[in-house]
Chains A and B, each alone.
Chain A
């Protein structure tokens, strides 16, 4: 199975900050990498797919990049509603896998 490793596992930041979360795959997954945001008690929501394509309705302060094994999610100008847990997911293999999540805290 393809292992996905996110870092950091938790991150403290302030409103207005720029933060970057990284996700590393155990093998080349091209750009079959998605990012989800999950708030407490809620279902995950798709933010970015294919490594860098913003899902409809997602604010432009979110951006994604990378290919192969190394990927990033960047939030520029954090807003109060952005404090949540972020998950990366690979869909290169039919056995999808997620990273362990990154909790973004105030």
Chain B
């Protein structure tokens, strides 16, 4: 059974930093791309960042580029999101998601973690 468990959320002041982790189990972690997705209060889902299975390729939404950094440690089956220069608008529940590839069907998130809350406030 696939399991994704996020940790590292909390309250941080504007301009501060936080590192989120996502511990994966139940599948061959290095074979799958992974993503971070967030949902701010009263808003819809926002894809934040993605990373290839090897970690060689990374992708970012314009809203977070230059402030958030995605990485992974395949030896530890763990995905990370380093969050710097945090703003009030980064307040959200952050989810990690397993990015499955269905060939002609393209990519889709077939497994999600339970989420971790990040609150940016003074």
- A interface with B by C-beta (< 8 Å): 1, 6, 31-32, 34, 36, 38, 42-46, 49-50, 53, 55, 85, 87, 89, 91-92, 94-101
Contact = CB atoms under 8 A, between A and B. Distances in A.
Interface residues of B, number: 26
Nearest to A30: B106
Given A97-B47, A98-B45, A91 B108 contact: yes
Contacts of B59: 94-95
Interface string B43-55: 1111100100000
A94 B50 contact: yes
B95 A44 contact: yes
A49 B110 CA distance: 9
Q: What secondary structure prevails in chain B residues at the interface with A?
A: strand
A76 B31 CA distance: 37
Contact of B115 (A1, A32, A43): A43
Contact of B102 (A50, A94, A96, A99): A50
B56 interface: no
Given A36-B109, A94-B50, A43 B95 contact: yes
Nearest to B46: A98
A53 B103 CA distance: 13
A50 B45 contact: no
17 contacts: A38-B39, A43-B95, A43-B114, A44-B95, A45-B112, A53-B102, A53-B105, A89-B47, A89-B108, A91-B108, A94-B59, A95-B60, A95-B61, A96-B35, A99-B44, A100-B44, A101-B44
